[in-house]
Amino acid sequence: MLINLHVKNLALIREEEVEFQSGLNILTGETGAGKSILLGSIQLALGGKMSREMIREDADYALVELTFQVEDPRIRRELEALGVYPEDDQIWMSRRMAGKRSTNRINGETCTAAQMRAVGALLLDIHGQHEHQSLLNRKRQLDILDEYGKEKIEPIKVQTAAAYQAYQKLAKQMSGDQMDEEQRKREVSFLEFEIRELQEANLQPGEDEELEKQHRKLSNGKRILETLNQVHMCTGYDDAGGAGDRLGQALQLLGGIVDLDEDLEPMEESLTDLDGLLNDFNRELTDYLSEWEFDEEEYYQLEKRLDLINHLKSKYGNSVEEIQKYQKKQEQRLQKLQSYEEYKQELEQKLARQRKKLDEQCKILSKYRMEYAKQLERQVQTQLTDLNFLHVDFAIEFTQQGYTSGGADQVEFMISTNPGEPRKPFGKVVSGGELSRIMLAIKTLLADKDQIETLIFDEIDTGISGRTAQKVSEKMAYIGGQRQVICITHLPQIASMADAHYSIEKKQQDADTFTSIRLLDAEDSVKELARLLGGAEITERVLESAREMKDLADQQKNSRLKL
């Protein structure tokens, strides 16, 4: 769960730190006090988008830090699969933004925004003010169903996507290979020309490198011979100035005195070794010079072969190996075109088999989806009844579309909220407040499936009041008994259910405006409820009503609210 939030220099926030608790954490405050900024800071720390204008005008940077407590073994395994390892059961995520750049870190190690989002998706689920509108989108409805039945649906979806990709590849190949007879003959003629040219060249692996080596030697033959003759003179034994002759003289002189001082023996041995090495070198050099022979015809054939290879390189590849790969590819293409009708028939058969396989996968996927749709219908119906939909009738309708990587299903959530009325798509029946409650019901069910430890709701109470608000508050209290919930609200019915109640206030100091947040004690929580109940003027009667509301909420929580 989220145990700490630290925000600095973000919008109206100078620097604030919040220690969240388990259960239902409620955030209340006047309109414009900065409640949504606090939620936005969490989204930013998890890789959300940010503009330079969000940094306070008197600051060079903004900083958001989150600390999570992670104890669920399943979540730990999924985090480790992402390369993130909790330290002392905790994960620290931070984002520092300066100018147009931001620095993201998880447990002190730099990471990308995408990695932040991936980790965040395992740790918390945020329901923003307008997210319930996504329920009007049929694609989102299908995603909800797949998420609900993820345990069995996800593996089939992976298999279906693989079958679809294989089908698309064959279909693309079939489309790309369509040609008339005249076109086929032209391509066959061209391929035969290229292959014949390459076969006649009879290139050998590494041949170009060896020929270039020989060409370099023959092209520089004169220089090589002149230089080697000079080397022979410098190191030979025939000339008085040669190193061999001088070394022989030195060895003779040293040999005349070595008997006079036995310490000179090692020097004599070293000089003898040098003389032997130089003698061997001169012998090898003499042999090389005697074997050197420049053959003009050989040189001509060498240049001719290199010209051919370079010409082929300019057409087919940068090396002999690449040219040979190209030749093999063209030979395969020629073989295919020469037996085009057989090839086309075989490809059609492969396409038909893959289409059948894809169709089978789509049917299996539909079967699982329909099974889970029945479960989801029943559970959503129950949840909506709890949320004061007294005469609700909810169903999921299936239609078929063309093949996609996600199967062939389209779904639409249908609902009737009044007795006797037929079910209709959400967009034609429900209001914004009703959509918000439906999303709360779905979030509750999905949370039970994925075990995300922290749920965040931003004004889930939009468009509701009275008995409905009370039902929503009971639902929030129940969820808070199962996992950590952080909720921004303006309704006293929901705020009264708080296990931890925070007040967000906008303050002014000199010419500066800033937002602060504080954890309320029991008495201050009652006063905040009174403000939500009575507005600007808080009378003793309003305070008494707030205290009674809080007591009733505590009684309900203590009696373990049930779904």
Distance between CA atoms of 555 and 561, rounded to whole angstroms? 10
Q: What is the pLDDT of residue 414?
A: 92
Question: Quick check: helix, strand or coil at residue 247?
Answer: helix
Q: What is the pLDDT of residue 159?
A: 95
DSSP string, 271-336: HHHHHHHHHHHHHHHHHHHHH----HHHHHHHHHHHHHHHHHHHHH-SSHHHHHHHHHHHHHHHHH
Task: DSSP letter for 87, please.
Answer: B
Q: What is the pLDDT of residue 459?
A: 67
H-only helix segments in 457-539: 466-482, 492-495, 522-534
User: For the chain, which residues score pLDDT lower than 70?
Assistant: 33, 128-132, 176-181, 221-222, 237-241, 293-295, 432, 448, 450-451, 459, 535-536, 560-563
Q: What is the pLDDT of residue 395?
A: 94
State the Cα angle at 205 between 201 and 207, rounded to 5°.
70
Q: Quote the mean pLDDT of the chain.
A: 85
Q: What is the pLDDT of residue 132?
A: 66
Structure token digits, residue 421: 């009325």
Check: pTM over 0.75? Answer yes or no: no
Q: What is the pLDDT of residue 562?
A: 47
Q: Distance of CA 332 to CAs 46, 329, 393, Å? A: 51, 5, 62
